[in-house]
Amino acid sequence: MSAYVISEKDGVLRVGGTGDFSVFSTFDCGQCFRFDPVENSPYKIEYAGVARGRKIGFAQNEPGEIYIIGAAKEDFPVWEDYLALDVDYGAMNEAMVLGVPEGSDREMMKRAVEASRGIRILRQDRWEALCSFIVSQNNNIPRIKKIIAALCEKYGRDIGGAHDFPTAESLDKAGEEALFALRTGFRAKYIANAARAVSGDAEFLGRVAAAKDYADAESLLVSLKGVGPKVAACTLLFGFERYDAFPVDVWIKKVLAKRFSEGFDYHVFGNSAGVAQQYLFYFERYLGGEDEK
């Protein structure tokens, strides 16, 4: 990654030297639920939302530079971390392609990498990731966003024109019945249970983060009622920076069966597995499997 060139004007940071980072692909690939595109933006692409307890926006006109709206120059390290600008995705992309056996499978992975280039795995809050992906079960993205917005408005801290994600303590205090009233459905009992577990054990999320082996981290999460392997994998990938997590849903099953050889084993991606999963998800669901689009 080249050195950043940072300038500030009227509460907007212009950051050059961001490589192939894509605001659109990163915020449109289904990994976070508190950002939305801004209509009538002066930028070609702009997403605004809440992260790290603040209202924030990310915009882009051309590759290689981004605009961070609502931040001062001294805040840049926070957003560099959140956007994972410090991760060498070039090396990761190369490793994941070379990990696939030569032939049609490797060529397929090359296509997915090229089509999805610019996606970054955001470093989201651990509790927010866990709670959000519990909400995501048997759900679609618009409805997930509505439920999370309702949780934040009702139980999140007011941060001036928006609300932070509610703490586990606040949702535990609210209780299952109140959570159900926000149209969370069958997920209410799972949210309440997770909130109770996390608020009652200050070290729980820390133990998940400290787990050396993926199986140990997964085991801790699936001990929570309503958290299965898929929700655990999403939580670990998006909330704990476990790039060895590979969430498997209907879309991933579809792309693996449709695009790769029979018996394809995603473990070949190693510590790039989670990034590979996002590329494949984006490639199949959003681009229809065609990188020409």
- Cα gap 185→147, rounded to integer Å: 10
Helix (H, G, I), strand (E, B) or coil at 224: coil
Q: DSSP 3-state helix, strand, coil percentages of the chain (rounded to 5)?
A: 50, 10, 35
Catalytic residues: 230
Helix (H, G, I), strand (E, B) or coil at 15: strand
Largest CA distance in the chain: 55
Instruction: Give the relative orientation of helices 214-222 and 229-239 as an angle to the nearest 10 degrees.
Output: 120
Find tokens 């949702």 and name the residue. Answer: 171
- Cα gap 124→81, rounded to integer Å: 10
Q: Where are the alpha helices (DSSP H) in the chain?
A: 23-27, 76-82, 89-98, 104-116, 126-135, 141-155, 168-174, 176-179, 187-200, 204-210, 214-222, 229-239, 250-259, 273-281
* Cα of 165 vs its chain's centroid, Å: 15
Helix (H, G, I), strand (E, B) or coil at 71: coil
Element (H, E) at 56: strand 54-60
Helix (H, G, I), strand (E, B) or coil at 136: coil
Q: Which residues contact 13 (CB under 8 A, 6 or more apart)?
A: 6, 7, 67, 68, 71, 72, 73, 75, 76, 79
